[in-house]
Amino acid sequence: KLRQIGFQVIERQNATKSQMEKAVADFGEALNAGAIGLFYYAGHGLQVSGRNFLVPVDAQITSEQRVRLETVDVDVVLDQMEAAKSGVNLVILDACRNNPFERRFRAAGGGLAQINAPQGTLIAYATAPGKVAADGEGANGLYTSRLLQHIGTPGVAVEEVFKRVRIDVSRDTNADQTPWESSSLVG
């Protein structure tokens, strides 16, 4: 869908940590001042000590201390966008799943932690901070399936797109899941 609406796409599926890190670096290098940067992640994510981590397929997380070594910190993506000075940045995280390690981790919480969006950035979550998102029944999670319905709507502001997604997901889950955004967009 992103290609259809004009984005240059760097796609990785079932990526290892090394592949994820290279894709994030390639993403940062493809951005430039004034660009619209969009980072989309669907998969397992977890929070530890208020920080969000994306889990690659080869992660061997045996303890809380290994999380930073085995995963990709969402802050690394934000750093790439900041360094590129892209004008508008969107980070979409459909990664609010149950943390399978939550019982063993002291500082882990359910779902993802809220990130305060740097200026010019909108961070969209499949559900509210600390909550867990539904997987859905098709190829995509519920959040992503609703995002796909709205993201290509011509003439609609990005905030309105995410509002429409939030309304649909909340309705579809009887308000058990409410998508969330943190925004400081200025463009």
* CA distance linking residue 183 with residue 86, whole number of Å: 15
Count of Cβ atoms closer than 10 Å to residue 76 Cβ: 15
Q: What is this structure's pTM?
A: 0.90
Model confidence pLDDT, tens digit, residues 131-146: 778 776 778 889 999 9
Strands (E), 32-179: 36-48, 51-54, 72-73, 88-96, 108-109, 121-125
pLDDT digits (tens, 9 = 90+) for 70-121: 999 999 999 999 999 998 999 999 986 555 555 555 555 556 777 777 889 9
